[in-house]
Amino acid sequence: MARVSVKMPVGAISATGNTEVAVEAATVQEALDNAIAVEPSIRVRVFREDGRMYAGVFVRGRNVNALQGLDTELADGDVLKIVPPISGG
């Protein structure tokens, strides 16, 4: 297991005032699950109601979808960044 940080999206702050959650995890899926267990508000910022990912999740500067998706393995010190979708006109 790796010790990683999950950075919450801009504008999101935990009940304790933190903008990131430290968790132990082997994969991106496990890191997100563990972060959601600590800070449940993360779920609606990452996943749709049907369970598909809504936001971009990046590790080592790459979108996890360009790697192995939620099965992407993590290393000690990795930082997951949650980036909400942006739209406009």
Read off the CATH number of the domain in which 65 is found.
3.10.20.30
Q: Would the pLDDT of 9 be above 90?
A: no
pLDDT band at residue 8, thresholds of 50, 70 and 90? confident
pLDDT at 85 over 70: yes
Average pLDDT over residues 61-89: 91
pLDDT per position as a tens digit, 16-57: 777 899 999 999 999 999 999 998 888 888 888 998 888 899
pLDDT at 88 over 80: no
Domain count, the chain: 1
Domain that holds residue 65: 2-83
Distance CA 31, CA 68 (A): 14
89 assigned to some structural domain? no
* Residue 36 within a domain: yes
Residue with the larger pLDDT of the pair 13 and 26: 26
Strand partners, 84: none
d(CA 49, CA 52): 8
